[in-house]
Chains A and B, each alone.
Chain A
Amino acid sequence: MMKLEGGFIQNLGRVYGIYTLGFLGFVILMAILEQAGVPARYIGYMFVGFTIAIYALIGILSRTMQSTEYYVAGRQVPAVFNGMATAADWMSGASFIAMAGGIYLKGYPYMAFLVGWTGGYVLVASLLAPYLRKFGCYTVPDFIGTRYGGNLARLCAVIILVVASFTYVTAQITGTGIVASRALDIPFEVGVWFGLAGILVCSMLGGMKAVTWTQVAQYIVLIIAYLLPVVWMSNKLDYGLIPQFAQFDAVLRVQELEALHQVGELKPTAEAAAQAKGLAALSVGINDANDTLMAKWKFFTLVLCMMAGTASLPHVLMRYFTTPSVKAARQSVGWSLVFIFLLYFTAPALATFTKLSILDPNLATGIIGKSIADASALDWVKNWSSVGFVKIIDGNGDGILQINEFFMKGDVVVLATPEIAGLPYVISGLVAAGGLAAAMSTADGLLLAIANALSHDLYYKIIDPKADTKTRLVVARILLLVVGAAAAYVASAKLTGILGAVAWAFCFANSGLFFPLVLGVWWKRANRAGAVAGMIGGFGAGAWYLYMVQFAGMTPWLGLDGLRFGMIGMPVSLALMVIVSLMTEEPDEETQKMVDAIRIPKGDTVTNS
C-alpha cells in the first residue's frame, strides 16, 4: 500500500473495479458452496466475516499521523468517489433496513422520507457545500466558530452537533447489533459491541482518510445487496427486468388484491393488537395519496424537516471538505445524490413486490387467505417468529389467515424478503452484509464527526490552542473510543427504535444549525449575537417541544409530532437570528471580507488550520 500510495488516487477506478469483481466472485463462491451443501449459518458467518475483514484491512492500510489526512482525507478525494462515500455515509440502517418496510406498512405518506432525503441535497449543493469547501475548515463548528467569532458560538455548534449525531449514531449501532446478532447467532447486547469493534477498526487509525476509502467499499456492498434481490424478484414474478420501472403494473395488481383482502377495512381486534405489541398488520392501501389538508400538511412538514436536516447534519457536510476543489465539491453533491437515488428509487419497488408476494393467492408465496396451520409452517414465518419479528394471531378463530391477523415489524421487508420470495440463502447472507455495511458506514461518519468536533473545536481551539499535532490526534482517537463506547452502551439499553431516533437527529440538527450555517454564507449582516441566539433558541425550542410531545403527554400542535419538531425549532431559530443580528452591531470588516472570499471559488481557502 505504501508503494502504491503515490498512485492510489490515480488508480481508484482500477482498485475499486477489481474490488467489485472480487466481491461478486465471493458471492458466486458462496452460492456454489450453498449448492454443495454448506449449512446456511456458515454462509452467514462468511459474509459478515469477509466484508468486515476487508473494511478493517482498508482502515489499517490508511493509517495516518497527519492532521489534514486525519480530518479531511488530505483534501484529494475525487468528486465521483466522494459521492459514493457520501452515499454510504448518508444511507444508514434506516434507509437500508427500515425504509422499504415503512413504505410497506404505512404506504404513501411514508414516501415523504424519500422526497425529503433526496431533495435535501439540492439545498446542500446550492446553499452550503461549495462555500464551506472554500472556507477550508476541518469541522462544521469550525465554520461557525470562525465566521461568527468567539468561543461561545463554537461551543454552541459543538453541543448541537454532539446531541444530533449521538442520537443518530445510537440508532446505527443498534442496527449493526440487530444484523450481527441475526447473522452470527449471538445475543443483541454482544452484537452491539461486536459492531462497534468493526466500526472503530475502520476509523481509529486513519480518521477521515480511512473512513472515506472504507465507505466507498461499503457503498459497493450495500448497493449490490439492495438491488440484486429486487431484480431477482421482479423477474421471478414476470414483471420485467428492471423492477424500478416494472413496479407500476405491480402497484395496480396490489390494489386489486387489497380490495380482495379488504385491506383497510379489516382492522386487528384490540386483543390481537395488544398481543402483537410492537408489530403491525397491514391496514392502509399502497397508494392512498394525500386527500385531506391535514395529510398534505403532514407530508410537507416531514419533507421539509428531512431536507433541512440533510443540509445541517455535520457528518454529511464534512464529506464535502475532502474534495480537491470548490468545483469538485459542487459536482460531488450531484454524484452523491445519483448514488443515493439508486437505492431510494428502488425502495418502493421492493416494498411493492414483497407485498405482491405475500398477498397474491395465485403465487406459492402468498400466505393471506391460506390456512393458519399452513402459513405457520412456512420456514420464513417460523424463523422470523422465533425472533419476534413476525406473529400470526387468529383473531376471529376461523383457522384462515386474514390480512388483520398477520403482524410484522417493518424491518422484515428488507431482511426477510429473500426468504419470503423463496430465493436461495446466499441472497439473505448478502442482504445481511449490506445492512451491516449501511449501518457501519454511517456510524463511522457520525463517530468521526463527534470526535473531531470535540478534539479540534473543544480541545484544540478552546481548551489548549498550543497543543501539537501529535497530541491533538491522540486526543481525537481517545475521544473516538470514549464516544463509541458510550453509544454502544446506550444502544445496548434499547432505549429507542431506529427510525424515530434518526428523525429526531435530523430535527435537532435543523433546529440548531440550519439557519446559522445558511445565513453565515448568504447574509453578511448575520453576526455573533444573532447566531448564538439562533442556535440556543432554535435548539432549545425544538428540544423542549420534543420533550413535551414525546414524554410529557402534550397534544401536538397542528399535528406536528416528534418526527417533525424541526417545524418548531427552525422558525424560532430564524426569527431570533434575524432580530438579534439587526439589533446588534454589524460584523466587522474582516468578517465581511471573509464572507466575500468564500463566495467566489478563486483564491486560497479562508482558514488553513
Chain B
Amino acid sequence: MSNEAAGASSHWEKSKSLLYITLAIWAFFSFVVHWFGSALNGAEGSFPGGYFMAGQGSQIAFVILIFWFVSRQNKLDDEHGVSEE
C-alpha cells in the first residue's frame, strides 16, 4: 500500500467516526429529546420547554451541528492532505 493510499484509508476511517458522532447528536435532537416533550413542558405556567424544543430548539442544534461537522471534516481533510488545493 502506498503512502497516499494509507493516508486515504486512515482518512476514511476518521471520516466514518466523525459521521457516527454527527449522527448520534442528530438522533438525540431529532428523536430522544422529543420523547420527553411533555416532561420538558413542565408545570402549568412555566416555560414551555417541549414546545421550544420542537418549534425551535432542535433547529438551532441542527444549524450548529452542521457547521461543527463541516469544520471538523475540513480539518480532517487538511491533516490527511486530501483537501482540494
Q: Are B66 and A334 in contact (CB under 8 A)?
A: yes
Q: Are B83 and A251 in contact (CB under 8 A)?
A: no
Q: Are A325 and B56 in contact (CB under 8 A)?
A: no
Q: Are B26 and A115 in contact (CB under 8 A)?
A: no
Q: Would you list which residues of chain A between 92 and 111 have a CB under 8 Å from chain B?
A: 103, 108, 111
Residues of A with C-beta under 8 A to B50: 108, 287, 289
Asked if A590 CB lies within 8 Å of chain B CBs, one says no
Residues of A with C-beta under 8 A to B48: 248, 251-252, 287
Residue of B nearest to A134 (CB): B84
Asked if A118 CB lies within 8 Å of chain B CBs, one says yes
Asked if A31 CB lies within 8 Å of chain B CBs, one says no
Q: Would you list which residues of chain A between 202 and 253 have a CB under 8 Å from chain B?
A: 244, 248, 251-252
Residues A122 and B66 in contact in the complex (CB < 8 Å), given A115-B54, A291-B38, A600-B77: yes
Q: Are B56 and A345 in contact (CB under 8 A)?
A: yes
Per-residue 0/1 for B69-82: is the Cβ within 8 Å of any A Cβ (1 yes, 0 no)?
A: 11001100100111
Q: Are A600 and B60 in contact (CB under 8 A)?
A: no
In whole Å, how far is A154's beta carbon from the nearest beta carbon of chain B? 27
Residues of A with C-beta under 8 A to B34: 115, 290, 296, 299-300, 303
Q: Are A601 and B69 in contact (CB under 8 A)?
A: no
Residues of B with C-beta under 8 A to A252: 45, 48
Asked if A125 CB lies within 8 Å of chain B CBs, one says yes
Asked if A344 CB lies within 8 Å of chain B CBs, one says yes
In whole Å, how far is B21's beta carbon from the nearest beta carbon of chain A? 10
Bound Cα distance from A348 to B69, whole angstroms: 27
Q: Are A348 and B56 in contact (CB under 8 A)?
A: yes
Q: Are B30 and A290 in contact (CB under 8 A)?
A: no
Residues of B with C-beta under 8 A to A325: 84
Residue of B nearest to A300 (CB): B31
Interface of B is mostly: helix
Bound Cα distance from A331 to B72, whole angstroms: 12
The listed residue (B19, B37, B73, B80) touching A289 by CB distance below 8 A is B37
Q: Are B70 and A331 in contact (CB under 8 A)?
A: yes
Number of CB contacts from chain A to chain B under 8 A = 139
Q: Are A327 and B30 in contact (CB under 8 A)?
A: no
Per-residue 0/1 for B31-45: is the Cβ within 8 Å of any A Cβ (1 yes, 0 no)?
A: 100110110110011
Residue of A nearest to B5 (CB): A596
The listed residue (B35, B69, B70, B82) touching A290 by CB distance below 8 A is B35
Q: Are B56 and A601 in contact (CB under 8 A)?
A: no
Asked if A338 CB lies within 8 Å of chain B CBs, one says yes
Asked if A126 CB lies within 8 Å of chain B CBs, one says yes
The listed residue (A103, A303, A327, A345) touching B59 by CB distance below 8 A is A345
Residues of B with C-beta under 8 A to A345: 55-56, 59-60
Asked if A602 CB lies within 8 Å of chain B CBs, one says yes
Q: Are A115 and B70 in contact (CB under 8 A)?
A: no
Q: Are B22 and A126 in contact (CB under 8 A)?
A: yes
Residues A125 and B35 in contact in the complex (CB < 8 Å), given A345-B59, A601-B83: no
Q: Are B59 and A115 in contact (CB under 8 A)?
A: yes
Most A-side CB within 10 Å, residue of B50, B55, B63: B55
Bound Cα distance from A119 to B62, whole angstroms: 6
Residues of A with C-beta under 8 A to B74: 327, 330
Bound Cα distance from A290 to B47, whole angstroms: 17
Residues of A with C-beta under 8 A to B38: 289-291
The listed residue (B30, B37, B54, B82) touching A600 by CB distance below 8 A is B82
Asked if A114 CB lies within 8 Å of chain B CBs, one says yes
Residue of A nearest to B18 (CB): A126
In whole Å, how far is A521's beta carbon from the nearest beta carbon of chain B? 11
Bound Cα distance from A280 to B67, whole angstroms: 40
Q: Are B59 and A114 in contact (CB under 8 A)?
A: yes
Bound Cα distance from A550 to B75, whole angstroms: 48
Q: Are B54 and A122 in contact (CB under 8 A)?
A: no
In whole Å, how far is B34's beta carbon from the nearest beta carbon of chain A? 6
Residues of B with C-beta under 8 A to A111: 51, 54-55
Residues of B with C-beta under 8 A to A255: 44
Residue of B nearest to A351 (CB): B55
In whole Å, how far is A337's beta carbon from the nearest beta carbon of chain B? 5
Residues of A with C-beta under 8 A to B47: 248
Residues A338 and B22 in contact in the complex (CB < 8 Å), given A111-B55, A327-B83, A600-B8: no
Residues of A with C-beta under 8 A to B62: 118-119, 121-122, 337, 341
- List 14 other contacts, CB 8 Å, given A108-B51, A287-B41, A602-B81: A108-B37, A115-B59, A118-B59, A119-B62, A126-B19, A287-B50, A289-B54, A290-B34, A296-B35, A300-B31, A330-B73, A333-B70, A596-B8, A600-B80
Interface residues in chain A, defined as those with a beta carbon under 8 Å from any beta carbon in chain B: 103, 108, 111-112, 114-116, 118-119, 121-123, 125-127, 130, 244, 248, 251-252, 255, 286-287, 289-291, 296, 299-300, 303-304, 307, 325-327, 330-331, 333-334, 337-338, 341, 344-345, 347-348, 596, 599-602
Q: Which 7 A-B pairs have the closest CB atoms?
A: A289-B37, A348-B55, A111-B54, A600-B82, A289-B50, A289-B38, A334-B66
For this complex, 9 residue pairs linking A to B, each with C-beta atoms less than 8 Å apart, are A130-B73, A248-B47, A255-B44, A299-B34, A327-B84, A344-B59, A345-B55, A599-B11, A600-B80
